[in-house]
Amino acid sequence: MLPLATTRLTKFYGNRPVVNSVNLAIPSGCVYGLLGRNGAGKSTLIKMLMGMVQPDAGEATLLGHNVAEMPAEVRQRIAYIAEGHPLYDWMTIQQAIDFVAPFYTRWNGRLVDQIINHFELPRRGKLRRLSNGQRAQVSLALAVAPEPELLILDDPTLGLDTVVRRDFLESLIQIIQRKGRTILFSSHILGDVERIADRIGVMVDGVLRVDCPTEHFRESIKLVTLEFRGVPPDWSGGGGVVSSRHVGSNLELITVGFDAEQRELAESLEPLAIDVLDLNLEDAFIEYTRGPKRSLPLFVTESTDDSYARPQGVA
Ligand SMILES: Nc1ncnc2c1ncn2[C@@H]1O[C@H](COP(=O)(O)OP(=O)(O)OP(=O)(O)O)[C@@H](O)[C@H]1O
């Protein structure tokens, strides 16, 4: 049983599909980083997973149960941290813990204490007086206390400084490693994603364009520079090229992979030299998502499981 799966999940706002026929299949123990530029549809997708937004088509299952008819005891095994860490601001940290705990049959008080002590959070401090970082830390403590099997986090480190973010993620990693839990989190911080996600999805205009191991994405996107003596020729299109641009007398191509066939195409332009450079995740993401959207090659999975490689974005 997959802990998180969606089938052609779709949401329209007006006549625009902001989540467009997304098929996700996240295996147990996976830490899945959901990426995409502002407005790509990440939060809407996550809200549909949590039953907070009704899909217009398709369905989602969490821990084997359809989100539309999720039994309360299954819901208890899923934690959600919403964007901006909304909390009951009039309560103190301790009051929030005492308020939330009785809703759960399983509650690891020791883990809460460990997190509160680790971050040196003031138990008697009012939630409204906490910094953004402290709010994130309280949210984390409350979310993981019921020992959830699946954690869904919407941009959990948004607005946190580098040190607090690092600490937050270290704690998250420790908690993940304890029990091999499954996590889906959205983020704009590619360095964080690179550190903790073993698989990534990239949404572009509501369509899941990438769904593969983090390493695989990083290794696949290449910057290929063709050197010429004078004005470089234009790239005529095709060959897995996401974008092309002139930089002085060079023609720079962003490609998905760079195999013998692509090299042959490049050589047919008769450049003086061809240089192939690997990119880090951030550069790979930037280059991939800023290319002309319509011509992006679909780049979904390397998996041999056919159910994984279903078509995306046809709403
Ligand atoms: N309730 C709503 N009504 C109408 N349009 C909406 C609503 N919620 C989101 N949208 C639109 O849907 C699109 C996707 O928004 P969403 O918040 O899912 O993107 P996102 O990828 O999470 O963006 P960000 O990274 O900026 O948080 C945006 O164009 C947004 O304006």
Q: Which domains does the chain have, with CATH numbers?
A: 4-205 (3.40.50.300), 217-290 (3.30.70)
206 Cβ below 6 A of ligand 1: no
**239's torsion region: left (phi>0), alpha (psi -120 to 50) or beta?**
left
Say which range, 79-88, 216-225, 273-282, has the weakest mean pLDDT: 79-88
**What spacing in Å lies between the alpha carbon of 263 and ligand 1's midpoint?**
40
Q: Please write the tens of the pLDDT for every residue from 123-177.
A: 998 988 988 888 888 988 898 899 899 999 998 888 778 888 888 888 887 777 6
Of 19, 20, 44, 158, the residue with max ligand 1 atoms within 8 A of its CB, to mutate for a pocket test, comes to 44
Rounded to 5°, angle at Cα 309 from 304 and 310: 150
Average pLDDT, the chain: 86
**By percentage, how much of the chain surpasses pLDDT 70?**
91
235, exposed or middle or buried, with CB in 10 Å at 0-12, 13-18, 19+?
Answer: buried
Residue owning tokens 């607005």: 159
Cβ contact 278:224 at 8 Å: no
Cβ contact 27:6 at 8 Å: no
Q: Please write the tens of the pLDDT for every residue from 183-240.
A: 999 998 888 888 889 899 999 899 998 898 988 888 888 999 999 998 999 887 777 8
18 Cβ below 6 A of ligand 1: yes
pLDDT beyond 80 at 293: no
* Paired tokens of 263: 């090299």
308, exposed or middle or buried, with CB in 10 Å at 0-12, 13-18, 19+?
Answer: middle
Q: How far apart are CA 13 and CA 137, in angstroms?
A: 33
Say which range, 22-31, 85-94, 183-192, 224-233, has the weakest mean pLDDT: 85-94
Rounded to 5°, angle at Cα 4 from 63 and 310: 135
157 Cβ below 6 A of ligand 1: no
pLDDT at residue 303, rounded to an integer: 44
**Residues belonging to the chain:** 315
